Amino acid sequence: MPPFNTERVAEFARGNLSHAVYVEYDRNLFWLFTNHGFYVLSSPLLGEPNLAAPTRVWPPR
């Protein structure tokens, strides 16, 4: 990760940066990657999360 410009980032936001979000639309989950770790989250906008293991391989082989 390259350093960010401290003159353009507010001081309160410097220690808790989010770098990426990955959405699993088939499981209704999204992953948030930050300076402090990564988190799996859900939202009512996506629907009930599916926490079960996949029943088939994707993409098909």
Rounded to an integer, the average pLDDT of 15-38 is 87
What is the rounded CA–CA span in Å between residue 52 and residue 50?
Answer: 6
When divided into structural domains, the chain yields a total of 1
Residues of the domain holding 8:
1-61
Q: Is the pLDDT of residue 2 over 70?
A: no
pLDDT at position 59: 83
Is pTM beyond 0.85? Reply is no
pLDDT at position 61: 82
Q: Where are the beta strands (DSSP E) in 1-61?
A: 18-24, 29-34, 37-41
Mean pLDDT of the chain: 84
